[in-house]
């Protein structure tokens, strides 16, 4: 077989293997992305064409007080979730990693189980547990505050409680990432540290933490991106209320697109959120990389 014929066959095989992915990528990702970019410069409705208006949508967005409120709520939610969920997942992973056999598998399953539940089921569970009249967690809240509280209708409680729901729901995946990182640390390093008389804290600080830092950076970055895209649990638990205290950027985009039929303005909101996520996540990842080298 000639070299030319062999290369043709290899090229044909490569096209057959990559072709389906390329088609799906173009149809369901690239084209919608380009469509959103172009729509953001028009006054188009959600479906159909529109007139080119340049940067008017972005100028309008800069004067939109509701957008600033929703953006602040997004970053507030990030503060409530990203670092706490990472710390909790790390502590759980350290504890689970000490277990062995079926007990470890059972505990891992219990922690991962909420992650596979759909958001509708998760929010229904927590709405029932925190119900103002019949919620099984209301006695605990009453013990702390002295009175029962409708947490998803209270401006001071709504975002922290949605953060609790989110951490409970998503933390199983982070635990698995940390478990994988812990299992990649050679046991010989712990044995050498123990022979040198290192305490448990010293072994964690000098062995576990430095070698686990890349996984920690990954978890923090993934959580940042995920929480900036907050929508489902807020929409189902509080509808953005009360008084817009849980109103987030994707809720405004949903309202403009599907309720007010302002496709162009909704596209501008989507583009600003996308750029914000890219900038913030890249900056965080670079800072974590620099911190990992020290």
Residue with tokens 């013990």: 143
Per-residue pLDDT of the chain (294 residues; tens, 9 = 90+): 567 777 888 888 888 888 888 899 999 889 988 999 999 999 988 887 788 999 999 999 999 999 999 999 999 999 999 999 999 999 999 999 888 888 888 988 888 999 999 999 999 999 999 998 888 999 998 888 888 899 999 999 999 999 999 999 999 999 999 999 999 988 888 888 888 888 888 888 888 888 899 899 889 999 999 999 999 999 999 999 898 999 999 999 999 999 999 999 999 999 999 999 999 888 887 887 776 665
> What global pTM score does this model have?
0.89
Instruction: Give the pLDDT score at 23.
Output: 92
Q: HEC profile for 163-175? A: HHHHHHHHHHHHH
Angular region, 87: left φ>0, alpha ψ -120 to 50, beta rest:
alpha
Give the dihedral of Cα atoms 145, 151, 154, 157; nearest 10 deg: 70
Give the CATH H-level superfamily of domain 56-293: MetI-like (1.10.3720.10)
Task: Express each pLDDT in 45-58 by its tens digit.
Answer: 888 778 899 999 99
Residue ranges, comma separated, of all CATH 1.10.3720.10 domains in the chain are: 56-293
Indicate if the alpha-carbon torsion angle 112, 118, 121, 124 is positive or negative: positive
């Amino acid at each position: 077989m000639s070299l030319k014929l062999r290369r043709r066959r290899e090229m044909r095989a490569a096209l057959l293997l990559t072709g389906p992915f390329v088609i799906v990528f173009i149809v369901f990702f690239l084209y919608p992305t380009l469509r959103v970019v172009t729509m953001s410069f028009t006054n188009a409705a959600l479906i159909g064409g529109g007139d080119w208006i340049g940067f008017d949508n972005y100028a309008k967005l800069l004067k939109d007080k509701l957008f600033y409120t929703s953006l602040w709520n997004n970053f507030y939610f990030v503060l409530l979730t990203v670092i706490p969920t990472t710390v909790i997942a790390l502590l759980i992973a350290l504890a689970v990693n000490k277990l062995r056999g079926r007990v470890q598998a059972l505990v891992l399953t219990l922690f991962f189980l909420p992650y596979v539940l759909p958001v509708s089921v998760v929010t229904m569970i927590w709405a029932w547990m925190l119900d103002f009249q019949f919620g099984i967690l209301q006695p605990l809240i009453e013990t702390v505050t002295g009175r029962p509280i409708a947490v998803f209708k209270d401006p001071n409680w709504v975002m922290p409680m949605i953060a609790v729901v989110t951490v409970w729901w998503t933390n199983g995946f982070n635990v698995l990432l940390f478990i994988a990182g812990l299992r990649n640390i050679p046991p010989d390093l712990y044995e050498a540290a123990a022979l040198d008389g290192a305490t448990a804290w010293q072994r964690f600080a000098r062995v576990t933490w430095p070698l686990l830092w890349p996984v920690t950076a990954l978890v923090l970055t993934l959580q940042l991106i995920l929480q900036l895209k907050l929508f489902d649990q807020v929409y189902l638990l509080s509808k953005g209320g009360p008084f817009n205290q849980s109103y987030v950027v994707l809720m405004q985009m949903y309202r403009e697109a599907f309720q007010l039929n302002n496709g162009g303005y909704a596209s501008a909101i989507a583009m600003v959120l996308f750029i914000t996520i890219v900038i913030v996540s890249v900056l965080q990842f670079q800072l974590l990389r620099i911190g990992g080298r020290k």
